[in-house]
């Protein structure tokens, strides 16, 4: 199975309303956007829809991000389209790598 990494733009309210998000992003200067970086075996659009609806698996475990459900605005393909599909292990590493790279560029980023 192949996985992709994706980026969702979040409302700036996440920075003012969510203390954990704010604490994770001390480098944020308010100029660029707030983002969520994730990975999925689905299309980014399918995964975004799952986040927005509070998707739960058959066992009832919530598999969507509360931050994306509340603050997610839309996908940002220009920030991830250059990354090819990969294995799950590679995608987990790429998710963190991309998130940290975006933080270095002064975006505010949340990832799991």
What number of CA atoms fall less than 13 Å from residue 112's CA on the CB side? 13
Q: Are 65 and 50 in contact (CB under 8 A)?
A: no
Tens-digit pLDDT profile for residues 1-18: 999 999 999 999 999 999
Q: Which helix (H) or strand (E) holds 73?
A: strand 72-75
Tens-digit pLDDT profile for residues 51-109: 999 888 888 877 788 999 999 999 999 999 999 999 999 999 999 999 999 999 999 99
Per-residue tokens: 1: 């199975």
């Amino acid at each position: 199975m192949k996985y992709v990494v994706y980026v969702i733009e979040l409302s700036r309210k996440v920075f003012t309303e969510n203390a954990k998000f704010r604490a994770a992003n001390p480098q944020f200067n308010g100029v660029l956007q707030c983002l969520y970086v994730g990975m999925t075996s689905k299309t980014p659009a399918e995964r975004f829809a799952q986040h927005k609806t509070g998707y739960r698996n058959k066992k009832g475990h919530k598999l969507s991000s509360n931050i994306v459900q509340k603050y997610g605005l839309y996908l940002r393909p220009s920030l991830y389209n250059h990354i090819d599909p990969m294995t799950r292990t590679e995608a987990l590493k790429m998710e963190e790598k991309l998130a940290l790279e975006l933080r270095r560029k002064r975006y505010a980023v949340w990832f799991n």
